[in-house]
Structure 1
Amino acid sequence: MTTYSHTLVTLACACLLLAGCATVPANNPNVVPPQSQYDSIIVDGNGRLLSINQLAEELAPADVVVIGEYHGHHGAHLLQLLVQSALYQQRPRQVLSMEQFALDDQPELDRYLTGQSGEEELIADTGAWPNYKASYRPLIEFSKNRNVPVVAANAPAHIVRCTGRYGDAYLDELDAGQRRKLPDAPFTDTAEYRRKFFETLGGHHGQAENSKRLENSYKAQLLRDNTMADRVIRALKEFPGHQVIHLTGTFHAENRLGMVAVLERKRPDLDVVVISPVFWTSGNTLNSLLKAHQEKGDYLYFLQPLPEEYKDNERHRNSITEQFRNATELSCD
């Protein structure tokens, strides 16, 4: 393909994804990979390419829209904002639910949204994620400017950490006020999710040398999932008739596992739509990627892979060791 032809194809795809051109099939040979870390290519379950506006039209009837992300990927966060904005045009009665804030951050989040504190105060008082300004500020500001409620949906970090250290028995040590904020059944799961978690972490339950640590880590993961599902359910009750957009790391939602499985088990009447990210890896076509990852979501969005974090394996191991050491030093008293 000549440079000129490639440019035309790229412009055509940009038109398709942002301006709302007609859908085209995923096997179209002119579809090119994402051209930057901000680009994404959206595909529905039938393999059709969609623009943001077309996606929003299809998402409008849903009760809950779950958008998975690769944390820190600019393309994922841009897509989340575009979906939020486009859906607002369809259904302005909207609630934004975020894994990125814990439920005990809700008072400080509300103070910021109502203009009672500034951004640096929000960041300091909630311990906001390091990439807040680059990744989540636009979503919060969009919500603030339109009086869209924002739900701090995650379990408190110290409770998650200590559950990961001591297992589910740690919740028995919480005072009544802390325990009451968490779900009644905080470790609801599915066999498929359990299998995926242990396979991903490289262990196998009952056989791995560190199976107890993995088991506790799994309980910590379930606490996050169940708390997020519980917060979404509460938001639907508190704001009847509103559509909830929930943002979370893709592992918590893809294949309708994690918090999505919990949500659907506790509220099977809900219409829940899952949008999952997939890296467009070198040598693949959209069609091959769609076939390999189609089950991850009702809709997929393809992104450029993130840069490789380490070339030096020893430095990578040292970094992981240091993270575990820092977590161990934190008290669970």
Structure 2
Amino acid sequence: MLLRLSGLFLALSFISACSSTSPTEDSAQASSIQLETYYDYVLYNPNDQQIIENTHSLAMQLADSQVVLFGEYHSHPAIHLAQLRLLEALYQQQNQLSLSMEQFNRSQQTVLNSYLTNEIGEEWLIKQTKAWDNYRSDYRPLVEFAKDKQLTVVAANAPREHVRCIGQQGLGYLEGLEESERAKLAQDFTTDDPAYQQRLFGNAHHGDSEQSNNHFFAMLAWDETMAESIVKQLENQSTQQVMHTVGNFHIEQRQGTYSRVEQRLNGQKVSSLVAINHEEFEKLSDQQKQALGDYLIVVKGLPKRYQNKANQLAEFKHIKKQSNKQCKSAN
């Protein structure tokens, strides 16, 4: 989600599991990581500094985790491939599994359910939920696997229109919402989180800025709502484990959605799989890798988004304009 949020907050393995022919799959004990294509990835346990052989092996290590948070760089082919393979592997050892997704919000749950029960077709699902542009290429495989296995898919996120209004008006916006709309966002917010706030804004953060605080509260609206959605699904007796797909920023360093899930789990275990590109991975110390997440998925870095500042600023200006559309007060 971070790539999608850049404007809002500036202004407002290897091919694993089933493949036995992948060169990286056969080199799990190799001393160096080689990633030739955008479909190659390596799964890594930072606690013992060992490469994990494949997604089946990772699933075994995650067997006692009630919640598995799978971080992603949106539209990275290797990560989306690994998400599907891990979902398959988790299902094979625990069929009381649910899939939770950042990519749908609570207001879309009814439509999503209608698709899963074959009441509507995919095109109607995409149009009615205004699905992400990369739904067909990246998220369709996950949803179709869940549909085939009759797994629950949780539309976990907060509606964008409410998040945008929080970014403009602060948490006071929630007080004016009707009960049905208020239920689309988490009931509880933990706002005292300076480390997460600092990571979000970096050196640009000014703790006494009302605008900065409102932008942070908007970020929390996503984190808190996703966390609450995940844990509510665990309260359903048909679910013993939830795998949640989410933008990497939300779970790095066990902050954001990770910490909010942990707060609500009452001692149950949450585990993260955090994405990192190979160049960054090589620069981190063992301690830094451990701090980043419980497990890592190492991938080939995506192409540079902008070659010059002018192009980048033009894109940010467009996103800022969209994010700053006038928000009507809920009062």
Q: Which TM bucket (shorter chain)?
A: 0.7 to 0.9
Q: Which residue of 1 aligns with 2:298?
A: 302
Distance in 2 (CA, whole Å) between partners of 1:184 and 1:169 is: 13
Shift in Å, 1:239: 3.6
Of 145, 157, 169, the residue aligned with 2:148 is: 145
* 1:44-55 matches, cutoff 5 A: 44=45, 45-50=47-52, 51-55=54-58
- 3-state SS in 2 of match to 1:244: strand
Shift in Å, 1:32: 3.0
Q: Which residue of 2 aligns with 1:4?
A: none
- 3-state SS in 1 of match to 2:235: helix
- Cα distance per residue 1:243-271 (max 9 Å; x no partner): 10011111111111101111111223111
* 1:1-333 matches, cutoff 5 A: 12-16=23-27, 24=29, 28-29=30-31, 31-44=32-45, 45-50=47-52, 51-188=54-191, 190-199=193-202, 202-206=203-207, 211-281=209-279, 285=282, 288=284, 290=286, 292-329=288-325, 331-333=327-329
Distance in 1 (CA, whole Å) between partners of 2:267 and 2:238 is: 14
**Aligned AA (2:44):** V
1:96–1:246 contact (8 Å) kept in structure 2: yes
Shift in Å, 1:148: 0.6
- Cα distance per residue 1:170-225 (max 9 Å; x no partner): 112211211133222134453321222221xx412237xxx332211100000110
Q: 1:55 to 1:42 in 2, by over 3 A?
A: same
Scaled by the length of structure 1, the TM-score of the pair is 0.87
Q: Which residue of 2 aligns with 1:7?
A: none
Distance in 1 (CA, whole Å) between partners of 2:67 and 2:207 is: 36
Percent identity for Structure 1 against Structure 2: 34
1:189–1:262 contact (8 Å) kept in structure 2: no
* Two-structure CA RMSD over aligned residues (Å): 2.0
Q: 1:326 to 1:227 in 2, by over 3 A?
A: same
Shift in Å, 1:76: 1.2
- Cα distance per residue 1:53-102 (max 9 Å; x no partner): 11111111211111111111111111111100111111011100001100
Q: 1:64 to 1:189 in 2, by over 3 A?
A: farther
Shift in Å, 1:138: 0.3
Greater Rg over alpha carbons, structure: 1
Scaled by the length of structure 2, the TM-score of the pair is 0.87
**Aligned AA (1:41):** V
Q: Unaligned regions of 5+ residues in structure 2, if any?
A: 1-20
Aligned length, in residue pairs: 307
Q: 1:331 to 1:195 in 2, by over 3 A?
A: closer
- Cα distance per residue 1:40-62 (max 9 Å; x no partner): 10111211111111111111121
Q: 1:189 to 1:152 in 2, by over 3 A?
A: farther
